[in-house]
Amino acid sequence: MNSGAQQHYFSSEEGDLANIGSAVRDVNWNAFGHDFLAKSDRGVFSYDHLDRGTAVFFTLVPLPPDHGNFLDLGCGWGPMSLCMAKLAPASKVWAVDVNPRARDLVLRNINIAQLKNIHVETPDNVPSDIQFDLIWSNPPIRIGKDALHELLLRWLPRLSPTGEAWLVVQKNLGSDSLAQWIVENGFDVKRLGSKKGFRVLCVTHRIDITTEPSR
Ligand SMILES: C[S@@+](CC[C@H](N)C(=O)[O-])C[C@H]1O[C@@H](n2cnc3c(N)ncnc32)[C@H](O)[C@@H]1O
């Protein structure tokens, strides 16, 4: 059913991936003045290059804080995790994806980059008591609106009280309606800007300014 170029969105089974085969590629990019090298493979998102949306994201997003628990939601082969971990070596980065080949590639890429602060997990294996000071995500829009909403309602409430989630979404795949939906679901959203057809959003918990200060 889920054949073709977008099968990676649904490939949470080794059997699916075996049918796709393997063709490992090197991907090089520069972000925040650092050169990165990673391995990618068939069956994962944007397997032979850095995705254009992720590239735009790196040019618009602010530097991460020095430390804290960070989440790369839908990490793919790991460009956002590698970047966060490099920029904030004292942080703990959680690289999460349903696709087992993506997770294996992140483990491989951690070794190449010699980074010690990335934990690669399935969504169900992230300890439930962790709150995230930072979420970076190029979310899987093509899983469909209902599944995407479910995903965001699972992870956005896990932002720490002052945490920020930075999302990159293609404008013609509904970035503005997604921003509106996030607001309707109780969060604040800032539209940071857009470039090359991609919008970067910053999501935070809503601060209730109507609450009377206690005396
Ligand atoms: C648009 S790709 C982004 C990949 C990577 N962050 C990048 O920038 O290249 C979205 C990723 O979300 C993953 N994904 C899909 N459903 C997911 C879910 N329910 N939980 C976690 N990850 C999921 C897909 O496997 C895919 O790797």
Domain range annotation of the chain: 51-205
- Using left for φ > 0, alpha for ψ between -120 and 50, and beta otherwise, residue 21 falls in left
Per-residue pLDDT band for 18 (boundaries 50, 70, 90) equals confident
pTM of the model: 0.93
What sections of 61-174 are H helices per DSSP?
Answer: 79-87, 100-113, 145-155
The CA 9 to ligand 1 mean position distance, Å, reads: 7
pLDDT cut 90: percent of the chain above it: 83
The CA-based angle 114-117-118, given to 5 degrees, is: 90
Tell me the two tokens of residue 94.
Answer: 């959680």
The CATH superfamily of 51-205 is Vaccinia Virus protein VP39 (3.40.50.150)
The CA 30 to ligand 1 mean position distance, Å, reads: 21
Ligand 1 within 6 A of 81 CB? no
